[in-house]
Amino acid sequence: MSSCVARNAAQRRYNRDVLWLSAAYALLLLAVTYLFRHAAITGVPAVMLAVLPALPIIGVFAAIARYLIEERDEYLRMLTVRQTLVASGFALSIATIWGFLESFGVAGHVDAYFVAVLWFAGLGLGTCVNRVIEARA
């Protein structure tokens, strides 16, 4: 979402959801990392535990979708759509380039979850793009 200040119910709900999902992510990541380092976890329990930190990140994606559905201001919705398109293009472009570099032995392996990290960084880039475009108008 392009604005830090919540002005309406959809923005307040989005901000609240992202805050608690971010906290859940941090807690789950710490707990799961601790468990994998200090316990011999294998099989189905290992898979289930390994997936846990991904769930809040998926929740953030859902929170953005919910915000886009609930936002009644078409201008604010358009800014958020543009921001998410920039983020998607950025993350997918970097992941594609890195994939080819890795395939041809020019770069080392990077874990796939970094695509989400790139996407979140792309949201910041999308905010900058929005500001540049809006400053021109």
Structure tokens at 6: 């919540």
Q: Is 35 exposed, middle or buried (0-12, 13-18, 19+ CB in 10 A)?
A: middle
Residues 46 and 84 in one domain: no
Instruction: Report the number of distinct structural domains present in the chain.
Output: 2
Q: Are residues 136 and 87 in the same domain?
A: yes
Contact 57, 25 (CB under 8 A): yes
Residuewise pLDDT in 10s, the chain (137 residues): 655 566 899 999 999 999 999 999 999 999 999 999 999 899 999 999 999 999 999 999 999 999 999 999 999 999 999 999 999 999 999 999 999 999 999 999 999 999 999 999 999 999 999 999 999 98
- This prediction's pTM: 0.88
**Do 106 and 63 fall within a single domain?**
no
Domain housing 40: 7-72
- What own/partner pairs with CB < 8 Å and gap ≥ 24 does 51-54 have? 52/28, 53/25, 53/28, 53/29, 54/113
Identify whether residues 52 and 90 lie together within a single domain.
no
Residue 117 located in a structural domain? yes
**Is residue 100 located within the same domain as residue 68?**
no
Specify whether 79 is located in the same domain as 67.
Answer: no
3-state class (DSSP) for residue 63: helix
